[in-house]
Amino acid sequence: MTIQVGDKLPDMPLAIATPDGPQQTTTSEYFGGKKVALFAVPGAFTPTCSARHMPSFVEKAGDLKAGGIDEIACVSVNDPFVMAAWGERDGSRDITMLADGNGEFSDAIGLSMDGAKFGMGKRSQRYSMLVNDGVVEQLNVEAPGEYRASSAEHMLEQMQTS
């Protein structure tokens, strides 16, 4: 069952990719007590993720934070070392890179996908969500092969109209 607006995130392990190596956390720890703009990608360094998705959040980080967002985070079913390298290359200090190494978080919220036909195995679907103290306030899941609803621009539009 896919997570819905109004649902609390399940307490799952994640790793924060830092310059000093992986820092273990849980969704309860990371999302507790703050408003987080979370976006998920099928894979670090993949074409749409690197050329469009990450850049939209890098470019709009200031606007999101001015709109009341405490943190911006990117999650992917990749290891924390890959997420750290991608964050260093394409991200910014405004974006926390979260590794869902085994896809447990993606599975628990019903947003994993099978990328085996592309040689990628289990991955996350592309989506964005606004999470306030662990509760989903917005959820934007992309149709397969699409990129629009999960962009930072779309999230900002939703924030301005809600």
Residues annotated catalytic, as ranges = 49
Would you give the distance in Å from CA 54 to the centre of its chain? 10
Token digits of residue 145: 């092969």
Beta-carbon count within 10 A of 63 CB:
15
> Could you tell me the CA-to-CA distances from 125 to 2, 34, 61, 74 in Å, in that order?
11, 24, 22, 12
Axis crossing angle, helix 80-90 with helix 54-66, rounded to the nearest 10: 80
Beta strands 127-132 and 122-124 are unpaired
How would you classify residue 97: left for phi > 0, otherwise alpha for psi between -120 and 50, otherwise beta? beta
Name residue 71's beta-bridge partners.
36
Token digits of residue 111: 């947003």
